[in-house]
């Protein structure tokens, strides 16, 4: 943000630059999410120009925006396109990997046609791998993606000539492309220090294909999604001439805390599970929307802090990566020895609506 | 376009305005899609200010854009939001209609969070109706939507505690919100006269729910989607600071014509149907991307002009409504007495990739 201000206001003297850094540091300390909750975040609109000397030395970064106020949306989308394509290349670098039946591309940060997913599939010659875009669903975007994946596999076995075995889901949440580096409003300073770039790839298998693979995973027991009444104004994400504007009201964590218990009870009941009886032994993958949201969900569900530790850890190590957050927690739970195979795993996430979306899984 | 030019260049005299109209008329005659192919189109960024006197009297329209060069993307999205919400209200005006299990909102023209679909569901108190966005898939967008709908219903019966019975699909292709009214490039004049606003709602039922309803419909037999090799540059749709920019290369119809026969043969084979044997008795719902695309598909598949008449009719009466086009043709086929129940119905559409997506249905 300091570098953007130097450029925007043509600030060249060392003294002036120090004043700008102090000003921004003051705002950040007052309004930003503290390093106690988020230790590091990926912000790919900044490229290091020399080895970083100290956290205060902003001059060691260069902005990938050509205009200090941030490029127009077309140039931001071009930056997104390049970055997301690279994510696909890295996600499929394993040699000899056969093409999946389908790829679901998840994002709330960049929309192109052809999309990076379509370009990648075309360049690989995977002409029969169907690409489905699951866009603009915000922080709970992993849930629409997994219900689409379950649908593609489940319905192919139930009603179509050929059963599908493997659907890959790739999230490219390049959120920093939408940063407004000159903003000084408190809510913008919150979102600027909370959201982070996040990229993740995982796979939905048919039950038979998973069983043959020797892999661990999460099996669907129930899915549920619901809108909290009269909460439309709490969160928003809207494309504008320069960036997608995000808004997050202060009351949101409380609102989620008030409704989470009833939601989870009802989700578990669908699968014949009594949540209050079983909660001590369950694994939890709660979307780390922010430190206060985790507090509210922990208290609303009557959990110990230790039960939501995987969510705190992902927030601390990566920030809020929107839809890419929850899959990082699923990975930790699947790989964790402290959550035995056979455990129930509850996962919930939140986004505009205010929408609460969740799944009950069994670790298999 | 004339009204925008008057405003942008501050043209007030009657003589000057006539010159502008003649200039635009000349460009349109040379590059635009002719009235022989498209007789009328919905362009909802124009509001009539007095009863229309004659087709040449451009002054009888008022632009809903506040800026003659067209508003910024945020204002266009706000216009989209209002219009799309109204579409939901009109689509659900039947009194006493119970909420659907799910709503799939399809668009390549507007992305908001909360979306008009979420706002509508929240305002109705349909808090348990899951909203899934199927955005930015272009003109073949009805196919991702129906495969998601099939998936939601099929997988719920196959792998979840409660089987879903009804998934509504609502397309809001408010394409005119992205018109560049001052453009003079030939390809922009083609897209400006080809694309039209289109809105449509239809429903996916489980087989049991449809059987009990007494309705006619289309039953899935097979689905297929494929990218034509090395065709990435042919079509694109990209968000910019003002509008989503569409591009359509001249060679696209030929490219589709060259690959359509093999695609359709292979799609039909999946369901054990020999296309060349059965094509004389089938119904056809071909996306009317433009007059030349219909010529190419007709010739590529060896069809008579009469077999693609429903596509010509939708193009003539509405223009190319992107993803909302093919559902209008499905409706005509479902309601037509010349396509008997039990007929095979082949449907294909095209979009960036270049992607060809298709379904084989049985009319039931």
Residue B54: its pLDDT value, please?
Answer: 56
Residue B50: its pLDDT value, please?
Answer: 64
CA–CA dist A248, A187 (Å, integer): 7
Whole-number percent of chain A with pLDDT over 70: 97
A231, closest residue in chain B (CA to CA): B122
3-class secondary structure, A133: strand
pLDDT, mean over chain A: 94
The pLDDT tens digits of the residues spanning B47-82 come to: 877 665 555 554 567 788 888 777 899 999 999 999
CB contact under 8 A, A113 and B235: yes
Of A73, A121, A154, the CB nearest to B155: A154
Determine phi and psi for B347, rounding to 5 degrees: -130, 135
Please indicate if any CB of chain B lies within 8 Å of the CB of A348: no
Crossing angle between the packed helical segments B142-159 and B325-335, to the nearest 10 degrees: 70
CA nearest neighbour of A243 among B200, B240, B41: B240
CB contact under 8 A, A353 and B138: no
3-class secondary structure, A137: coil
Of B144, B150, B228, the CB nearest to A155: B150
3-class secondary structure, A206: coil
DSSP letter for B330, please.
Answer: H
CA–CA dist B287, B148 (Å, integer): 19
Pairing type for strands B198-205 and B166-173 reads antiparallel
Residue A187: its pLDDT value, please?
Answer: 87
A chain contacts of residue B128, beta-carbon cutoff 8 Å: 226
The pLDDT tens digits of the residues spanning A73-127 come to: 999 999 999 999 999 999 999 998 999 999 999 999 999 999 999 999 999 999 8
CA distances from B99 to A43, A147, B117 (A): 42, 20, 13
Please indicate if any CB of chain A lies within 8 Å of the CB of B116: no
Whether B273 has a pLDDT exceeding 90, the answer reads: yes
Cβ-count burial of A177 within 10 angstroms (0-12 exposed, 13-18 middle, 19+ buried)? Answer: buried
Is the CB of residue A91 less than 8 Å from the CB of residue A203? no
DSSP letter for B339, please.
Answer: S
CA–CA dist B267, B289 (Å, integer): 20
Which secondary-structure segment (H or E) carries B360? strand B355-363
Please indicate if any CB of chain A lies within 8 Å of the CB of B240: yes
- Give the B window 183-202 contacts with A, CB below 8 Å: none
Strand partners, A60: none
Residue A47: its pLDDT value, please?
Answer: 80
Please indicate if any CB of chain B lies within 8 Å of the CB of A96: no
Stretch B213-228: mean pLDDT: 96
A159, closest residue in chain B (CA to CA): B154
Report the range of poorest mean pLDDT among A108-112, A319-323, B209-213, B303-307: B209-213
CA–CA dist B94, B112 (Å, integer): 26
Residue A220: its pLDDT value, please?
Answer: 97
Is the CB of residue B107 less than 8 Å from the CB of residue B78? no
Residue B56: its pLDDT value, please?
Answer: 52
The pLDDT tens digits of the residues spanning A187-218 come to: 889 999 999 999 999 999 999 999 988 999 99
Band the pLDDT of A55: cuts 50, 70, 90: low
Please indicate if any CB of chain A lies within 8 Å of the CB of B39: no
Residue A253: its pLDDT value, please?
Answer: 96
Band the pLDDT of B107: cuts 50, 70, 90: very high
The pLDDT tens digits of the residues spanning A226-256 come to: 999 999 999 999 999 999 999 999 999 999 9
Of B131, B161, B220, the CB nearest to A270: B161
Give the number of other Cβ atoms within 10 Å of residue B325's Cβ. 29
Residue B1: its pLDDT value, please?
Answer: 87
Band the pLDDT of B356: cuts 50, 70, 90: very high
The pLDDT tens digits of the residues spanning B281-330 come to: 999 999 999 999 999 999 999 999 999 999 999 999 999 999 999 999 99
User: In sequence order, what E strands does B136-216 have?
Assistant: 166-173, 198-205
Residue B68: its pLDDT value, please?
Answer: 73
Determine phi and psi for A284, rounding to 5 degrees: -130, 130
Residues in chain B: 364
Residue A290: its pLDDT value, please?
Answer: 95
Whole-number percent of chain A with pLDDT over 90: 85
Residue A149: its pLDDT value, please?
Answer: 98
Determine phi and psi for B226, rounding to 5 degrees: -150, 150
- Give how far B103 is from chain A: nearest CA, Å: 12
Stretch B108-120: mean pLDDT: 98
Band the pLDDT of A50: cuts 50, 70, 90: low
CA distances from A53 to A18, A60, A327, B161 (A): 16, 8, 33, 56
Diameter of chain B measured on Cα atoms: 71
Band the pLDDT of B4: cuts 50, 70, 90: confident
DSSP letter for A230, please.
Answer: T
Please give the interface size between A and B, counted as residue pairs whose CB atoms are below 8 Å apart: 213
Pairing type for strands B283-286 and B344-351 reads parallel
CA–CA dist A241, B76 (Å, integer): 10
In chain B, % helix, strand, coil (3-state, to 5) comes to 45, 20, 35
Please indicate if any CB of chain A lies within 8 Å of the CB of B259: no
Cis geometry, peptide bond prior to residue A354 (ω within 30 degrees of 0): yes
CA–CA dist A351, A336 (Å, integer): 27
Is the CB of residue A338 less than 8 Å from the CB of residue A332? no
More confident residue, B213 or B358: B358
Structure tokens at B9: 């260049």
B358, closest residue in chain A (CA to CA): A130
Residues in chain A: 364
User: What predicted TM-score, i.e. pTM, was given to this entire model?
Assistant: 0.96
Residue A61: its pLDDT value, please?
Answer: 73
ipTM of the complex: 0.95
Tokens 């089987």 belong to residue:
B163
Band the pLDDT of B7: cuts 50, 70, 90: confident
The secondary structure of B195-263, three-state, reads: ECCEEEEEEEECHHHHHHHCCCCEEEEEEEEEECCCCCCCEEEEECCCCEEEEECCCHHHHHHHHHHHH
How does B97-130 read in b/e, with b if 16+ C-beta sit within 10 Å? Answer: eebbbbbbbbbbbbbbbbbbbbbbbbeeebbebb
Please indicate if any CB of chain A lies within 8 Å of the CB of B66: no
B chain contacts of residue A241, beta-carbon cutoff 8 Å: 72-74, 241-242
Residues 6 or more apart whose CB falls under 8 angstroms from that of A211 comprise none
CA–CA dist B151, B132 (Å, integer): 12
Whether A169 has a pLDDT exceeding 60, the answer reads: yes
The pLDDT tens digits of the residues spanning A291-302 come to: 999 999 999 999
Stretch B181-198: mean pLDDT: 92
CA–CA dist A83, B182 (Å, integer): 33
Structure tokens at B195: 């694309």
Whether A152 has a pLDDT exceeding 80, the answer reads: yes
Band the pLDDT of A70: cuts 50, 70, 90: confident
A chain contacts of residue B259, beta-carbon cutoff 8 Å: none
Whether A36 has a pLDDT exceeding 80, the answer reads: yes
Whether A53 has a pLDDT exceeding 70, the answer reads: no
Tokens 């802090």 belong to residue:
A305
Residue B253: its pLDDT value, please?
Answer: 96
Stretch A301-314: mean pLDDT: 98
Please indicate if any CB of chain A lies within 8 Å of the CB of B241: yes
Residue B203: its pLDDT value, please?
Answer: 97
Give the number of other Cβ atoms within 10 Å of residue A13's Cβ. 8
Please indicate if any CB of chain A lies within 8 Å of the CB of B153: yes
CB contact under 8 A, B138 and A113: yes
CB contact under 8 A, A152 and B147: yes
Kindly report the CA angle at B59 between B54 and B65, in degrees rounded to 5? 130
Whether B187 has a pLDDT exceeding 90, the answer reads: no
3-class secondary structure, A179: coil
Structural domains in chain B, CATH included, are 2-63 (no CATH), 73-211 (3.40.47.10), 218-363 (3.40.47.10)
Stretch A251-272: mean pLDDT: 97
Stretch B349-360: mean pLDDT: 97
């Amino acid at each position: 943000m300091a570098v953007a201000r130097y450029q925007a206001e043509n600030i060249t003297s060392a003294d002036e630059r120090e004043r700008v850094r102090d000003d921004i540091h003051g705002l950040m300390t007052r309004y930003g999410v503290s390093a106690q909750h988020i230790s590091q975040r990926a912000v790919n609109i900044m490229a290091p120009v020399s080895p970083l000397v100290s956290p205060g030395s902003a001059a060691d970064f260069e902005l990938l925006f050509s205009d200090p106020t941030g490029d127009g949306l077309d140039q931001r989308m071009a930056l997104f396109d390049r970055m997301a394509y690279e994510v696909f290349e890295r996600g499929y670098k394993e040699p000899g990997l056969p093409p999946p039946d389908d790829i679901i591309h998840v994002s709330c940060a960049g929309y192109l046609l052809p999309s990076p997913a379509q370009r990648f599939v075309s360049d690989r010659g995977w002409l029969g791998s169907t690409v489905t875009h699951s866009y603009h669903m915000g922080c709970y975007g992993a849930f629409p993606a997994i219900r689409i994946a379950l649908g593609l596999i489940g319905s192919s076995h139930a009603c179509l000539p050929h059963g599908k075995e493997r659907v890959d889901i790739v999230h490219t949440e390049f959120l920093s492309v939408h940063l407004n580096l000159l903003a000084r409003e408190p809510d913008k300073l919150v979102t600027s220090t909370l959201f982070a770039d996040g990229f993740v790839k995982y796979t939905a298998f048919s039950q038979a294909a998973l069983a043959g693979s020797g892999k661990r995973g999460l099996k669907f027991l129930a899915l549920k999604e619901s809108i909290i009444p009269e909460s439309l104004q709490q969160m928003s994400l809207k494309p504008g001439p320069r960036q997608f504007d995000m808004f997050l009201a202060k009351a949101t964590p409380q609102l989620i805390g008030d409704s989470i218990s009833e939601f989870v009870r009802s989700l578990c009941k669908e699968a014949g599970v009594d949540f209050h009886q079983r909660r001590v032994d369950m694994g939890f993958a709660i979307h780390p929307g922010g430190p206060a949201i985790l507090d509210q969900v922990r208290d609303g569900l009557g959990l110990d802090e230790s039960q939501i530790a995987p969510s705190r850890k992902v927030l601390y190590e990566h920030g809020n990566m929107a839809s890419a957050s929850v899959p990082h927690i699923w990975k930790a739970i699947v790989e964790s020895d402290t959550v035995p195979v056979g455990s129930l795993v509850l996962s919930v996430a939140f986004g505009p609506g205010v929408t609460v979306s969740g799944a009950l899984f069994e670790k298999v």
